């Protein structure tokens, strides 16, 4: 059977996963009466809730005698480690571009990786049925983007289609019949070459592992594309590291191939196909699984380095152990090491004392997703403020700079530019109209300046702005960036908060807790209206007397308190504060709960 391997790449929310759903339906991968969830490829709970793809997944469809392996990739740069590895196992990419928004930062990020590997893209202008769609402008922008990224003449001569993934059609012209996706299927078969590996069928077996998973029944599994040879179930293989060192010898206990949404066991894996192998105990991502007579490892893609780090520690607050079952540092360490193994963009190191672990990764979203997953698994953690990782080069200190693309209504551009280029030390690169009443701002901002900015940005633009960021380059250190301006209100007592006390404290600042909330000494319960920290008593009830006076029995009416999401809490805290994360709650606290200890530490620090 003819074979094609393609990846679908695009910016966040441009409709990749929805399009794959339609491809599966129209190729007959589902039975007529089969119940299939919307966005069938986003199988993980967090992906469904947030509407984003976090892990790359593969599927395969058959169309007129050709099997097409399709990999659905994440659009967020925080999960770029996934994208880079995935692209090395396909022969073509379908670049999906929203006909209204045009190419966006992540489009640029993923496309640059694909062009560098020499892949020839097919451009699909999606959502052309939106009222504000401008497919011709989007197409011109794609051409300019490819030219700016140094595409070859062959890559610049790309075919394009007009489509609506949700309605399930793709046509070569805007006036096409708008019936089905056959134009896309046939273009993939015509334009994408068959895997070159098929010609190497008679050589010894070689495969580069690109994703790691685990199955409750067959254990550890590795997925990748077979570079040469064939493999039968039960044959012996050896795993080599990137440097060619032997990791282990093992028997391939099972070989699975993608068929529709599921994976099915097959007897023989052939060169060019994307398959999953079980049986290994140590081999991991970027290792080569090869025939025992092969001595050289396959070249693996280098991964972009992490740019921020967060400290994961045990929860040592007075309320520790009430919600979660997994509280020991040993259990937390095992879980983080397991994560680092399957996610090559994450690095975990032990800190002196062994109670906390430094986790370095690509961005706040990636960290937020990891913490949220651990929280749902029953872990209790204390999390520090994210720190940007610096580099030393030729005696100069370098920091990561991100390219930020912002789409806002014209009335908010002044406020946004002032915030980004002022205190946050950003440089304005470009500013241009983006449709009626909207402006697109592109700036290069230090990663440090973006920590915690997203919430402020949504407030400044009344929730209408769209901000996207992607790693740009390393640049010399830009000097100090001011942190949070306001101080915090700190509880000086242990117990449950009282509505009357909170009501009296409202003139001091905004509250983070409501009445009947568990509080402890050193816990942050609100934001002070001034720039210093203030210790307060949220337990102080009303003194009762037997004298009645008019006005003493006023009803206590509390202003609704601020509720932080996990990412907002992590971005809000200062360096001497922590976020306490448990399965049921998110609390802010001082690193040192005892006030005398806090004073000692701040004296030592100054």
Interacting residues of 597 by C-beta distance below 8 A, sequence separation 6+? none
What H or E segment, with its residue span, contains residue 60? strand 57-63
477 is in an annotated binding site: no
Q: Is 232 annotated as a binding residue?
A: no
559 is in an annotated binding site: no
129 is annotated as contributing to ligand binding:
yes
Residue 126, marked binder: yes
- Max Cα distance, the chain (Å): 99
Ramachandran region of residue 425, left (φ > 0), alpha (ψ -120 to 50) or beta? Answer: left
Q: C-alpha angle with apex 494: 490 to 496, nearest 5 degrees?
A: 95
Q: Phi-psi region for residue 260, left (φ > 0), alpha (ψ -120 to 50) or beta?
A: left
Alpha carbon separation from 344 to 135, 149, 435, 498, 559 (Å, rounded): 37, 25, 39, 47, 45
| Three-class DSSP category at 155 | helix
15 in a known ligand binding site: yes
**Residue 284 among known ligand-binding residues:** no
φ and ψ at residue 190, rounded to 5 degrees: -75, -45
Confirm or deny that 590 is annotated as ligand binding.
Answer: no
586 three-class SS = strand
User: 144 among the known binding-site residues?
Assistant: no
- The tokens describing 570, both together, are 């992590």
Instruction: Copy the structure tokens of residue 240.
Output: 């080599």
Q: Are strands 438-446 and 391-393 parallel, antiparallel or unpaired?
A: unpaired
Judge whether 17 is annotated as a binding position.
Answer: yes
CA torsion angle 175 180 186 187 (round to 10): 50
Q: Which residue has the tokens 């380095």?
A: 305
Q: Report DSSP letters for 299-347, one per residue.
A: P-PPPPPP-EEEEEE---STTTTSS-SB--HHHHHHHHHHHHHH-TT-E
Binding site, residues? 13-18, 126-129
Positions at the binding site for GTP: 13-18, 126-129
């Amino acid at each position: 059977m003819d074979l094609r391997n393609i990846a679908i790449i695009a910016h966040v929310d441009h409709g990749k996963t929805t399009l794959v759903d339609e491809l599966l339906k129209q190729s007959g991968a589902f039975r007529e009466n089969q119940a299939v969830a919307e966005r069938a490829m986003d199988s993980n709970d967090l992906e469904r809730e947030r509407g984003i793809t976090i892990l790359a997944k593969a599927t395969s469809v058959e169309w007129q005698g050709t099997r097409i392996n399709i990999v659905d990739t994440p659009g967020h740069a925080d999960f770029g480690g996934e994208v880079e590895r995935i692209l090395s196992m396909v022969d073509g990419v379908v670049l999906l571009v929203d006909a209204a928004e045009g190419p966006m930062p992540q489009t640029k990020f993923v496309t640059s990786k694909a062009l560098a590997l020499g892949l020839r893209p097919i451009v699909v202008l999606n959502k052309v049925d939106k009222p504000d769609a401008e497919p011709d402008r989007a197409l011109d922008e794609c051409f300019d983007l490819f030219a700016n990224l140094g595409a070859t003449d062959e890559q610049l001569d790309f075919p394009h289609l007009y489509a609506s993934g949700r309605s399930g059609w793709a046509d070569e012209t805007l006036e096409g019949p708008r019936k089905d996706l056959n134009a896309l299927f046939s273009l993939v078969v015509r334009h994408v070459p068959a895997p070159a590996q098929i010609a190497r069928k008679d050589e010894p077996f070689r495969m580069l592992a690109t994703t790691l998973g685990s199955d409750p029944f067959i254990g550890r599994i590795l997925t990748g594309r077979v570079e040469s040879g064939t493999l039968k179930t039960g044959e012996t293989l050896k795993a080599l590291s990137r440097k060619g060192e032997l990791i282990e010898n093992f028997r391939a206990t099972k070989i699975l191939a993608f068929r529709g949404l599921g994976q099915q066991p097959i007897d023989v894996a052939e060169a060019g196909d994307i398959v999953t192998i079980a049986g290994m105990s140590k081999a991991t991502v970027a290792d080569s699984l090869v025939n025992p007579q092969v001595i050289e490892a396959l070249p693996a893609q280098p991964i972009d380095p992490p740019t921020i780090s967060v400290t994961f520690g045990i929860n040592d607050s007075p309320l520790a152990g009430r919600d979660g079952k997994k509280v020991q540092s040993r259990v937390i360490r095992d879980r983080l090491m397991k994560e680092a193994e399957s996610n090559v963009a994450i690095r975990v190191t032990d800190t002196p004392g062994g109670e906390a672990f430094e986790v370095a990764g690509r961005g706040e979203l990636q960290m937020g997703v990891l913490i949220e997953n651990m929280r749902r698994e029953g872990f209790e953690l204390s999390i520090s403020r994210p720190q940007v990782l610096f580099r030393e080069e030729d005696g100069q200190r370098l920091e990561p700079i991100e390219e930020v693309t912002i789409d806002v209504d014209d009335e908010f551009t002044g406020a946004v530019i002032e915030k980004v280029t002022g205190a946050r030390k950003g440089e304005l690169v470009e500013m241009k109209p983006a449709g009626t009443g909207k402006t697109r701002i592109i700036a290069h901002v230090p990663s440090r300046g973006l920590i915690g900015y997203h919430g402020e940005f949504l407030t400044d633009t009344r929730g209408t702005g769209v901000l996207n960021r992607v790693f740009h380059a390393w640049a010399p250190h830009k000097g100090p960036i001011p942190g949070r301006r306001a101080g915090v209100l700190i509880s000086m007592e242990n117990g449950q908060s009282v509505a009357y006390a909170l009501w009296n404290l409202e003139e001091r600042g905004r509250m983070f807790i409501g009445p009947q909330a568990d509080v402890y000494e050193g816990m942050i319960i609100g934001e002070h209206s001034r720039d210093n920290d203030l210790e307060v008593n949220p337990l102080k009830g009303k003194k009762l007397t037997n004298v009645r006076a008019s006005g003493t029995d006023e009803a206590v009416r509390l202003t609704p308190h601020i509720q932080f999401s996990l990412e907002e809490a992590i971005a809000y805290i200062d360096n001497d504060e922590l976020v306490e994360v448990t399965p049921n709650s998110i609390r802010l606290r001082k690193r040192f709960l005892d006030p005398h200890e806090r004073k000692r530490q701040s004296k030592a620090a100054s």
